[in-house]
Structure 1
Amino acid sequence: MHRCLELARRGAGQVAPNPLVGAVLVQGEVVLAEGWHRRFGGPHAEVECLRAFGDGPVPEDAVMVVSLEPCSHHGKTPPCADLLVERGVKRVVIGQRDPFAEVAGRGVERLRAAGVQVTEGVLERECRWTNRRFNTRHEQGRPYVVLKWASTSDGLLDKHPREQRGVQRISGPEAHLLVHRWRAVEQAVLVGSRTVVNDDPAL
């Protein structure tokens, strides 16, 4: 599952509003194939994984490990749960259930109804954190929000009079790098009107 999450994160900034998902097909200690959801509207992680495996029969003892419950509905792509059944996957390990209302346990039900052994909740906390934006939207009905501000050690936002302001950084280089990482994966940046007027930020 750790490897699934590593793969899933490769889709950051490319798959929204879809979730980040990684999949690994294993046989014992051997990794047979890997895949991840690469872009919005593109093949899901399970599809990419089985494509990487090829057209041959999936071994009876192979296990599909996937960070999010396989989908069970027709959207931009066909249901992944159906594909796993069709390809003869006998065991599936899932990190977390999909909170999207059109899935929400139906993928697990479809797999089990077809005789597939399903294990749930493996590294669930880590899987939920990886998809915190997706989970917040579907479970709480609101966007995931990151609040960021910079202040001096005594709690001031800027200790210089306006006429003395130049290009100054209150934050250190680590915070600067972190903010740019956030901006790369978030969908919007909001600032106050006074920030725009006074600081003319290069958003």
Structure 2
Amino acid sequence: MHRCLELAELGAGNVAPNPMVGAVLVYDDRIIGEGYHEVYGGPHAEPNCLASVREEDMGLIAQSVMYVSLEPCAHHGKTPPCADLIVKHKIAKVVIGCRDPFKEVSGKGIEKVRSAGIKVEQGILENRCRELNKRFFTFHTQHRPYIILKWAQTANGFIAQRENDAQTLRIENANVDHSSTTSGAGRLYITNEFTNRL
């Protein structure tokens, strides 16, 4: 599951509003395939994982274990259901990091795979899998965006030395991990401008 999380992180910034997901296919303690959800609207982690299996290992798929950081989808969206693909390949066992909170999937992917006679284990590194997609989970469970507040202050807790004394602040990575809007204090307090992205 650690490898699934590493792979999933490669999709950061490219898959939203979908979650970041990684998948690894293992036969007899050997990774024979791996993939992740690379871009929104493109194939999910599971089909990318299966597509990476070499020709000489194709016969091993049905005897393998697929590890996936999030429950396989069970609905038709921009791509076909990943749960159907797992069933089609008759993978012996699926190990899932955490259940998908999206109402079109939640529990349905697990049920579809189980009802096909495939063993399912879930909750492996669940907290880390949920943390990776905290924005996705917040949106689907609390029906609001994931909110992060960020400000700059001096070591002794002040934002500026004295009233109206502008300070130069370096915020090099403010937009790297977050979809954010940065606004100066003057604009927020004086003009009451509130900007957000949903």
TM-score using structure 1 length: 0.85
Q: Please list the CA deviations of residues 135-175 of structure 1 after superposition, one character each: whole Å capped at 9, or x if unmatched.
A: 0000000001111111123322110453x53x623x7xxxx
Aligned to 1:66: 68
Conserved? CA contact 1:94–1:119, under 8 Å:
yes
What is the root-mean-square deviation of aligned Cα atoms in Å? Answer: 2.1
**In 1, Cα distance between equivalents of 2:32 and 2:84:** 20
Residue 53, structure 1, aligned to residue 53, structure 2: yes
Identity, % of aligned pairs? Answer: 48
Residue 159, structure 1, aligned to residue 161, structure 2: yes
Paired amino acid for 2:34: E
Unaligned runs of 5+ in 2: 191-198
Report the count of equivalent residues.
188
Conserved? CA contact 1:14–1:39, under 8 Å:
yes
Aligned to 2:15: 15
Aligned to 2:105: 103
**Could you say what secondary structure the match of 2:175 adopts?**
helix
If each structure's helix is expressed as a fraction of its own residues, which one has the higher value?
A: 1
Aligned to 2:196: none
Aligned to 2:29: 29
Conserved? CA contact 2:93–2:119, under 8 Å:
yes
Conserved? CA contact 1:58–1:88, under 8 Å:
no
**Could you say what secondary structure the match of 1:136 adopts?**
helix
Q: Please list the CA deviations of residues 163-193 of structure 1 after superposition, one character each: whole Å capped at 9, or x if unmatched.
A: x53x623x7xxxx45xx1x512323325356
**In 1, Cα distance between equivalents of 2:183 and 2:152:** 13
Unaligned runs of 5+ in 1: 199-203
Residue 188, structure 1, aligned to residue 151, structure 2: no
Aligned to 2:194: none
Conserved? CA contact 1:8–1:21, under 8 Å:
yes
**In 2, Cα distance between equivalents of 1:143 and 1:161:** 33
Aligned to 1:76: 78
